Amino acid sequence: MTDLANPKAAAFFTSLFAVALPPDAPLWFDAAVITLVVAIAGGWYALVACAVASGPGAAMFGRARRALTYVAGAVFVGFGLKLVAER
């Protein structure tokens, strides 16, 4: 669902498939590639979810949560200042 809700991911995979897959590939091959990509992405997100939800992962995230929030906030403020400076 994460990749489906992100238009940049759709543009990335569309451009990647357009370049990497042969134009005369059979339909089953295209379906197999798409299925493989979905399986890899789903597996990755499941792995990350399990790692963060586990006892040690949740504890580490709990300790780092405030620092991560401040760093992300600083990055977004920096992007905002860059946009203001460009105008």
0.85 exceeded by pTM = no
CA distances 45 to 3, 28, 40, 42, 55, Å, are: 10, 26, 9, 5, 18
What are 28-43's pLDDT values in tens digits? 998 998 899 889 988 9
What are 43-53's pLDDT values in tens digits? 998 998 888 88
What is the rounded radius of gyration, in angstroms, for the C-alpha atoms of the chain?
A: 19
pLDDT band at 82 (very low <50, low <70, confident <90, very high): very high
Q: What is the mean pLDDT of residues 66-79?
A: 94
9 C-beta neighbours (distance < 10 Å), count: 13
| Average pLDDT taken over every residue of the chain | 87
Task: State how far the Cα of 23 lies from the Cα of 16, in Å rounded to an integer.
Answer: 13
